[in-house]
Amino acid sequence: MVNWYNKWFGTRYYDLLYNKRDDLEAKHFLDTLVKQLGLEPQAQILDVACGKGRHAIYLNKLGFNVTGIDLSDNSIAHSKQFENPSLHFYVHDMRRLFRTNSFDLLLNLFTSFGYFERQHHNAMAINAWAAALKSGGKLVIDFFNVQKIAMQLVPHQTKQIDGIGFNISKSFENGYITKTIKVNDDNIEKYFYERVQALTLNQFEIYFKNAGLKIDSIFGDYDLNSFVPTDSDRLIIIAKK
């Protein structure tokens, strides 16, 4: 079965629609995060759901040894052109184990979670993340702040980007934020979807505890300001194995 996330990520339309989520945003966040974490220069980092590698590539430029994994063949094929002896990319499903006890830091950035049809797959993925970390290693997840997203949901939006029309409908139903994206490319219509589970801090706390991860700190945006449920744009959790 082809899931919405197999179909949507890695397309040119995804890149166009999220073109504000660019390398500059990634660099700014990572500079702040690296300071906060106090990483050793030889740290081994795993970027889970790395997409086209914008975070992994920058962290490698800072001198870290970085591995990026993602389900999308297209995105990994693109990222591979940037590989070097301390930067590698692989097609891999985050629900499956990847190199146990190997990483000092694991990242899951920009709402790259909450996609699975089955609830227990959330736990499978988070357990696999915990297994990939060395003892004392840290995990950072950057997820949307459900409460703010739900309060400020814009049901319909149209956008024109580089001559491509985007007609976007959003809804919040049965614990999922669903986005339907109708693309008009040269009068040919294509449909894509995003369906992300509205996971709360409380739900992550339970998954992390069951995986043997202890929450260290919680932030609400890419400047690492405190998390305020009614106000923060992001939910950024740092946990430790």
Ligand X SMILES: C[S@@+](CC[C@H](N)C(=O)[O-])C[C@H]1O[C@@H](n2cnc3c(N)ncnc32)[C@H](O)[C@@H]1O
Q: Which residues bind ligand X (CB under 6 A)?
A: 5, 9, 49-51, 54, 70-72, 75, 93-95, 109-112, 115
How many Å separate Cα 206 from the centre of its chain? 19
Report how far apart, in Å, the C-alpha atoms of 186 and of each of 16, 164, 165, 189 are.
15, 7, 9, 8
- Tell me whether residue 95 or residue 240 sits nearer to ligand X (CB atom): 95
Give CA torsion, residues 121, 125, 128, 133, to 10 deg.
Answer: -160
| SS3 state of residue 130 | helix
Confirm if 179 and 169 have CB atoms less than 8 A apart: yes
* Shortest distance in whole angstroms from residue 75 CB to ligand X: 5
At residue 63, what are phi and psi to the nearest 5 degrees?
110, -5
- Tell me whether residue 89 or residue 227 sits nearer to ligand X (CB atom): 89
- Tell me whether residue 51 or residue 220 sits nearer to ligand X (CB atom): 51
- Tell me whether residue 8 or residue 208 sits nearer to ligand X (CB atom): 8
* Shortest distance in whole angstroms from residue 46 CB to ligand X: 11
| Cα–Cα distance for residue pair 135/179, rounded to 1 Å | 38
* Shortest distance in whole angstroms from residue 4 CB to ligand X: 10
- Tell me whether residue 17 or residue 43 sits nearer to ligand X (CB atom): 17
Residue whose beta carbon is closest to ligand X: 51
* Shortest distance in whole angstroms from residue 186 CB to ligand X: 26
* Shortest distance in whole angstroms from residue 187 CB to ligand X: 28
CB atoms within 10 A of CB 24: 11
Confirm if 73 and 10 have CB atoms less than 8 A apart: yes
